[in-house]
Structure formats: structure tokens, C-alpha cells
Amino acid sequence: MYRINRKTKLYQDMYSMWIEAPEIAKTVQPGQFIILMTREEGERVPLTVADYDRDRGLIHIVFQVVGKTTDELACFKEGDYLYSFTGPLGRKSEIEYFGTTVVVGGGTGIACIHPIARNLKAVGNKVIAIIGARSKELVIMEKELRLVSDELIVTTDDGSYGRKGFVTEALKEKLDSDTAIKKVWTIGPPIMMKVTTELTKSYPVDTIVSLNTIMVDGTGMCGSCRVSIGGETKFVCTDGPEFDGQLVDWDEFMHRIYRYKEEENKSWQSFKEKKGCRCKEN
Amino acid sequence: MAEMIEMKERMKREPVPMREQLPSERIHNFKEVPLGYTREEAIYEAQRCLQCKNPTCMKGCPAEINIPTFIRYIVEEDFKKAYLTILKTDALPAVTGRVCPQEEQCQKECVLNKRGKPIAIGRLERFIADWARENGVHGIKDSVNKKQTKVAIVGSGPAGLACAADLAKMGYQVTLFEALHKPGGVLVYGIPEFRLPKTIVEYEVGQIEQTGVKVICDQVIGATRSIEDLKNEFDAIFLCNGAGAPRFMDIPGENMNDVYSANEFLTRSNLMKAYLFPEYDTPIKIRKRAATIGAGNVAMDSARTALRLGAEKSYIVYRRSRAEVPARAEEVHHAEEEGIIFHFLTLPVRILGDNEGRVTGMECIKMELGEPDESGRRSPIPIENSNFILEVDMIIDAIGTMANPIVARSARGVEVNKWGYFKVDERTRMTTCEGIFAGGDIVRGSATVISAVGDGKKAARFIDAYLSSGKSLKKQ
Ligand SMILES: Cc1cc2nc3c(=O)[nH]c(=O)nc-3n(C[C@H](O)[C@H](O)[C@H](O)COP(=O)(O)OP(=O)(O)OC[C@H]3O[C@@H](n4cnc5c(N)ncnc54)[C@H](O)[C@@H]3O)c2cc1C
Ligand SMILES: Cc1cc2nc3c(=O)[nH]c(=O)nc-3n(C[C@H](O)[C@H](O)[C@H](O)COP(=O)(O)OP(=O)(O)OC[C@H]3O[C@@H](n4cnc5c(N)ncnc54)[C@H](O)[C@@H]3O)c2cc1C
Ligand code: SF4
Ligand code: SF4
Ligand code: FES
């Protein structure tokens, strides 16, 4: 059992939790993820490690309520216990000195790029961070990212904060004006990663994406997470989750992540009907 | 007490069949198919045993069960003694009694097999294990002479459980590390409920825990802890993490939405209990016509599971002929009774789909059998221009597994062969690193529950020998 040490609501439907998992905190690296279960009857859900505190043995996760499990997780309080919490899974981000780098984050992906930015910076890279959200209240971790980047650009779809528009527009300008950029990390909703990859294709940069396929075990046992990378089948949980975005078969990936849409809706619907509590207010 | 019967009568008596759920009923539920012997049936069958002076049956049992003795106790109606006799060497009798391929093991060696009427040893074993569980009869708890020496076991499948049980009996402090959230390995995630009810596995694992074995789940060795970490803390290590990585056919269309590996399909259904969705949260997608590729036990389990989950048609597609089918005869028979349709000498070459990434059919080619290959089986050869489309909308790849490299990558000094399986000394089960032993599927490739149990037991014996000679990983 794994205790929830701290819980914060970042904004409506997005939460941050620090979980007591000292063994994982000891060895985890940026780019890796964990798999958790709320209850014995629950699903195994993968979430990126958004940060960690090795001394206090804590793992930070940031999640968005998109279905039953994340909805239920949002109902958990500080001091509650999770049934299962496994990790660190997947390969770590390949962080070394590249020169100038850009990290692009959207949604919960903003939290995920934070440790990557910090580590890129620590080995001497110039780090430009671009984060995007629909509107002002949805911008998270701005302060933390500012601390670990040389430049931070915030974009909102409605222009209520930072620049108006999408992250890709800001990225395009950067790529056009700064030819020293060698490497781009982009983590966020699938469509954002896909579009970013399409944009960077015509620039001399490598683009790393973090794929959020549907998983079961997370250890290479089932193949649920498989994707085609450069025409070869790879397992996201053991070969990834980070891949060269230019090699990803995005159509196949998008089909596969929505393959249980009907069932997921059904499951969430019945959960909402039963829930009827105001647990998310705390 | 029941009577020993005359020799003549023993030879004359026919084996007692086991009652089963009717096929028409059982395809709509996940309840166990064979119903087990009643007390009377068990005694009647046990009376047939000749109580051989030189019981050849025992040679066929890697779990080293004293078969004539436990059968004699059944005749004497001393079921408790029968249970304790089995438990002395086999910590998982309700499991082995059900899924051990008895016809290839003990029953093959039984003298009565010459007349085609071997004693139903597995069924008797199952009867006793079920009786003990239902009547709350236990073996010996926590060993008395606790040693200070600690052994780590990586993986809680049958190999790990058997090894742990034996070492605990010898007084060692045993910790079992399991990557998933439940112990049992293939017994919980692979073999379906209708062949091996999960409450039974849980019970027998619980009994092993009672003997002092510590089970820690959610521990991916090679990720959560490394082998180096374990070396610092434990005196010896047994690696038995199973073969567990799925193999795919490598044909076009295999990453489409309705294509599962058997591992994924069965894990969703068994471990995650998707057959109880939405009571349990994990979904599984069933379409009208399912094709399972392969004809081993895993394929039979997948095809039969698909049927129970609501597929209207469930096919087995196999590139060789009926004679080469590797699954147990009993499983094939059950599958046929349930209406599984077999396509022999058929090889899938391409999966067809629509714009949404959903399967709409599978192109296959007909095969014929040529000369025997290295495995001794006649190898299938494609017949030119025999391509045809099998109308299916979901596919389950059950063509085998290969070594998962997570543990091996973290185990410095432990050599693997070209397929990624650990190399071990045939006799001692020691790997190329002193103090680290290995067994089960991660050494043999996909094998059987009973061979995994046998490996676990052998390893326990040589781990004891290693530690008793004063050696330890910590001293290296
Ligand atoms: C390596 C990895 C890292 C991830 N990191 C984060 C993160 O840091 N924060 C975050 O909010 N989300 C993250 N996700 C996605 C997260 O796992 C899903 O949002 C979650 O599983 C949804 O569960 P649910 O029951 O609430 O919703 P569901 O009802 O199960 O699904 C709703 C939506 O989520 C997608 N989804 C469903 N199951 C999964 C699954 N097992 N894996 C991925 N997507 C799924 C579906 O396509 C669907 O669109 C990550 C996924 C992966 C694979
Ligand atoms: C569907 C199916 C049906 C079968 N039917 C039969 C049958 O009827 N009769 C029969 O005799 N055999 C059958 N078999 C084969 C039999 O189940 C296996 O040969 C046997 O389970 C192997 O045992 P094992 O202990 O070596 O490994 P497994 O049972 O595979 O157990 C290995 C365990 O190690 C864990 N693990 C893996 N990696 C790690 C890690 N890095 N850290 C920690 N833990 C890890 C796994 O999660 C798993 O729990 C079947 C197999 C399948 C898949
Ligand atoms: S464990 Fe298997 S081989 Fe041994 S007696 Fe039981 S059924 Fe026979
Ligand atoms: S060989 Fe057969 S008949 Fe003889 S003791 Fe064993 S089970 Fe009984
Ligand atoms: S999640 Fe099962 S293999 Fe990746």
C-alpha cells in the first residue's frame, strides 16, 4: 500500500499528488513512468513521474481526469492508500549536452517536461521552454519551469495569458530565429505531439515525443502498448516511452489509444452515477 | 475404512471418469469445466492402484510425490494423511492436480498405462487438495529452526513458489519478489478461471506464505531493485521470471486494434478480470468472429475464452496438421466440444482492416507437410496460389513467447543463450554467476507448470547445499 503524502488541485480536473514510494524514488530518472491501481478491481494506469524527492522517498504525479480511474483517483485524499504502485518503468530520457534545446509541454505534459528541462540545464544545455494551455487558469508549473529554463514562453489558445495561439506557432518562430537548436522534446496530448513533429520535420532538429499508449503490465509482457516506429514494432513500456517523433506511425498510434472508447465511456458513466459525492472539492 | 480389493478386480475395473459441466452450459460461464471426484469416486479409483513395490509412476513426477502412499491413504479414507503426504513435496497440489500434463508425466509411467488404463493420479491429487481446502486442513506452519540466511526469489510463478516452499521448510528466510500486483505468475494471469479458479491459486499461495515466505508484489527486478541490490541483501538468488514476452507473426496489419497477443488477451481476462467488466475496470473488446493463431495450451485457452466472452465464432488457425497439435489432448477435446472450429494447415499472411484500424479479415495460405525438421515434426510448406480470406474481425496471436530481458539486463555475470534464456548447470541449476540459480520458463523457454515446479525444487536443494557449505553472495 502506498500512502498519498500530498494532494493539490492544480485547477479543475487536474491534480498533483506526491506518493510515498521510497524504492522508486531512489532510482527513478526523468522520462520514466509508474503504473498505479486505486483498488484491487481497478485498472492499471500509467502516469509519468513528474518529479521525485529522493531524500523523502516521494514520487510526484500530475494527472488529468479523463475517465473512471483518474476520476476516482481525484477522490482520494491525503493519507489515503493506493492499492498498487509500480516503477520506475520505461527508459530514461537520453539527456546529454546538445547545445540549445527546446522543451514543449501541453496539459499534464507540462509537468512531465519539468524534470527533463532541469536535467538538460544541469548538464549545460541552453533550455527554452514552451508551454501551452487553453486559457490562463490552466497554465501550470510556470514558476518551477522558469527556474530551470533560460527562456519560458507561455501560450494560451484564447490569449488570456502569454501569447495567443498554439505552442507550435511559438516553436516555429524559435526554430526560424535560432538555428542553434538541436533537440526538441514535446510531451502532451497526442495531437499536439503529432502536429509538433510535423512542424519540426523540415528543420534540422531531433524531436523526442513521449507516447501514452494503453498499457496493462508495463514490463514488456503483453504487447498492449505496441506501436510502429520506423516500420518496426516497439513496446512503449520497455523500448520507450520516448521515441524519435519522426519515426512514429501516428495514425496507428491514434487508433490504438482510442480502441476502448466505448467501454471507457460506459465505465465512467456508471462510476459517475454511483459516486454522487463531492469528494473532488477537497 | 474402504477395502483393499482383490488384484483381479483391480485389473478389471475401468478408470472413473470425471464429471464435467455440459458444453452448452459452460460456454456461457467462467466456472470450472471438470467438476472433481466425489468421495466415493475417489475411493473407487484409488482402489485400482496396484501399490507397486517399484512404483514407476513416481519417476514421472518432478514434484516427487509419493504416489502409492497417498493413494493408499485415500483407500483407507485417511484424507488428512493423504494430504500431508502430497504436501511433503508439492506445495501446490490443487494446481498441479488440475493443470499438470499427467498423461505425459506420472500417468505415462504408471504400469497400468500398458493396458491403457493408468490410475487417474492427477484427479486423485486434486480431490485430496480440494478436500483439505474445503475442510480447513493445513500442513505445518512456519518452520521452527529459523536460519539467518536469506534467499531472494525473482518471480512468483510455479517455479518460484515451489522453490520458496522448500527453502522455507529448510528454515531459510525467503523473500519472493513479484512484478505484478498479485503472485502466481501464469497461474493467475494466463491460465483461465474455467481451468484453474483463482481463489484456489490464492489459497495455495497463502498456505506457502503461512510457512514464513514473504511475498512482495509491485517489484520489477531490474527496475525497482537491481540484481546488485539483491546481492547486497541476500545470500543466494533464484531467478524464475518466466518467459513472458509475446511473439508476433510479423505480418502486415498486426498492430491493428482488434489484434491481441494471447498474453494481453488472457491477462486482461484473468488477472484484471475483464470478464467481469464493468464490475472490474479493465475492458476487453470482443467481436463476432475471433481467430486464434497457434494450437498450444495457450491457444486453446484463448479461443475458449473468446467464446465465453461472447464471440459467435471462435477459430483456431494452425499451420501444421492435427497430428502436430501441441496442446494437451484433453484441452483440444474440450475445445472441440465447445464448438471451436479448427483450420489446420493454414498460415496467416496478412491482416486486412478498415480506415479506423479495425480488423475486417485475414488472408491465409494453405499448407502441406514436407520433411521432418530439427524438432522432428514435419515442416509445413505453403501451397502456391492457395490464398484465401478468412472472415474474422478479431485475432489473437498465440504463437509463443520469448525471454523478457529486464532481469537479465540487470544481472551482471549471469550469461544467457542466444535466445536470452539463462544458462544453467543441468544438475545444480546454478547460473554462470555463483550463488545465482535459475529455473522455469526463463531457462527452458515455454514449458510446463510441473517442469517449473521441478526446477524450483532442484534449485532449493542446491541453494541449500551452496549455503550449507558456508558460501554466500555477500561474501563474494
Ligand atoms: C507512459 C505514459 C505516461 C502517462 N503519463 C500521464 C500523466 O503524467 N498524466 C496524465 O494525466 N496521464 C498520463 N498518461 C495517460 C493516462 O494513463 C490515462 O489518462 C489514464 O490511463 C486514463 O485512465 P481513466 O480510467 O481515467 O480513463 P479511461 O476511461 O481509461 O480513458 C480515457 C482516455 O485515456 C486514454 N487511456 C485509457 N487508458 C489508457 C492507458 N492505460 N494509458 C494511456 N492512455 C489511456 C484513452 O485513450 C482515453 O482517451 C500516461 C500514459 C502513458 C502510457
Ligand atoms: C495460457 C497458458 C496456459 C498454460 N497451460 C498450461 C497447462 O495446462 N499445463 C502446464 O503444465 N503448463 C501450462 N502452461 C505453461 C506454464 O504455465 C508455464 O510453463 C509455467 O507457468 C512457468 O512457470 P515459471 O515459474 O517459470 O514462470 P511464470 O509462471 O511465467 O512466472 C514468472 C513470474 O515472474 C514475474 N516476473 C517477470 N519479470 C519479473 C521481474 N523483472 N521482477 C519480478 N518478477 C518478475 C512474472 O510477473 C510472473 O509472475 C500454460 C501457459 C500459459 C501462458
Ligand atoms: S504433480 Fe503432476 S506428475 Fe506429479 S503426481 Fe501430480 S499430476 Fe502426476
Ligand atoms: S505405477 Fe500405477 S499402479 Fe503402480 S503404484 Fe503407481 S499409480 Fe499405482
Ligand atoms: S504494457 Fe504490456 S507490454 Fe507494454
Per-residue pLDDT reduced to its tens digit, B111-122: 999 989 999 999
pLDDT bin (cut points 50, 70, 90) of residue B372 is: confident
Q: Whose CA is nearest to atom 6 of ligand 1?
A: A47
User: Which region among A270-279, B38-47, B359-368, B465-474 has the lowest average model confidence (pLDDT)?
Assistant: A270-279
Q: What is the pLDDT of residue B160?
A: 98
A267 → closest Cβ in B257, B283, B406: B283
Per-residue pLDDT reduced to its tens digit, A101-156: 999 999 889 999 999 999 999 999 999 999 998 888 888 888 999 999 999 999 99
Residues A107, A144: Cα–Cα separation, whole Å: 15
Question: Any chain B CB within 8 A of the CB of A239?
Answer: no
pLDDT bin (cut points 50, 70, 90) of residue B66 is: very high
DSSP-derived secondary structure letter, B44: H
**For B29, what's the count of Cα atoms within 13 Å in the CB-facing half-sphere?**
10
- Residues framing ligand 5 (Cβ under 6 A): A 215-218, 220-225, 235, 237
Kindly determine whether residue B404 and residue A84, on different chains, have CB atoms separated by under 8 Å. Answer: no
A259 → closest Cβ in B180, B181, B285: B285
Question: Considering every ligand atom, which ligand is closest to the CA of B456?
Answer: 2
Residues B2, A265: Cα–Cα separation, whole Å: 60
Kindly determine whether residue B404 and residue A41, on different chains, have CB atoms separated by under 8 Å. Answer: no
Question: Does residue B248 carry a pLDDT above 70?
Answer: yes
Q: What is the pLDDT of residue B2?
A: 74
Question: Does residue A281 carry a pLDDT above 60?
Answer: no
Interface of A with B in 60-89 (CB under 8 A): 68-69, 83-89
DSSP three-state, residue B68: helix
CB A170 within 8 A of CB A105: no
Per-residue pLDDT reduced to its tens digit, B254-304: 999 999 999 999 999 999 999 999 889 999 999 999 999 999 999 999 999
For B284, the closest chain A residue by CA position comes to: A260
Per-residue pLDDT, averaged over A40-61, amounts to 95
Per-residue pLDDT, averaged over A32-37, amounts to 97
Q: What is the pLDDT of residue A282?
A: 43
Question: Any chain A CB within 8 A of the CB of B244?
Answer: yes
Please enumerate in sequence order all residues whose Cβ is within 8 A of that of B231, keeping only pairs 6 or more positions apart, or say none: B237, B435, B473, B474, B476
Question: Any chain B CB within 8 A of the CB of A3?
Answer: no
Question: Considering every ligand atom, which ligand is closest to the CA of B270?
Answer: 2
Kindly determine whether residue B281 and residue A43, on different chains, have CB atoms separated by under 8 Å. Answer: yes
Question: Does residue A36 carry a pLDDT above 80?
Answer: yes
Which of A36, A48, A19 lies closest to A109, judged by CA? A48
Give the Cα-Cα-Cα angle A253, A255, A258 (nearest 5 degrees): 105
Per-residue pLDDT reduced to its tens digit, B151-209: 999 999 999 999 999 999 999 999 999 999 999 999 999 999 999 999 999 999 999 99
The chain-wide mean pLDDT, for chain B, equals 94
CB A129 within 8 A of CB A154: no
pLDDT > 90 fraction of chain A, expressed in percent and rounded: 82
Interface of B with A in 260-289 (CB under 8 A): 260-261, 263-264, 267-268, 272-273, 277-283, 285
Kindly determine whether residue B181 and residue A260, on different chains, have CB atoms separated by under 8 Å. Answer: no
Question: Does residue A279 carry a pLDDT above 90?
Answer: no
Per-residue pLDDT reduced to its tens digit, B310-369: 999 999 999 999 989 999 888 999 999 999 999 999 999 999 999 889 999 999 999 999
pLDDT bin (cut points 50, 70, 90) of residue A272 is: confident
Q: What share of chain A is helix, strand, coil (3-state, %, to 5)?
A: 35, 30, 35
> Å from A224 to nearest chain B CA?
6
Can you list the domains of chain A with their CATH numbers?
2-89 (2.40.30.10), 93-209 (3.40.50.80)
Question: Does residue A280 carry a pLDDT above 90?
Answer: no
Question: Does residue A275 carry a pLDDT above 80?
Answer: no
- Report the DSSP beta bridge partners of residue B436: B237
B278 → closest Cβ in A23, A24, A266: A266
Computed on alpha carbons and rounded to an integer, the radius of gyration of chain A in Å comes to: 18
Q: What is the pLDDT of residue B143?
A: 63
> Å from B257 to nearest chain A CA?
6
Question: Does residue B144 carry a pLDDT above 80?
Answer: no
Question: Does residue B142 carry a pLDDT above 80?
Answer: no
Question: Any chain B CB within 8 A of the CB of A241?
Answer: no
ipTM: 0.93
Please enumerate in sequence order all residues whose Cβ is within 8 A of that of B293, keeping only pairs 6 or more positions apart, or say none: B249, B299, B317, B318, B348, B395, B396, B397, B398, B399
CB B370 within 8 A of CB B381: yes
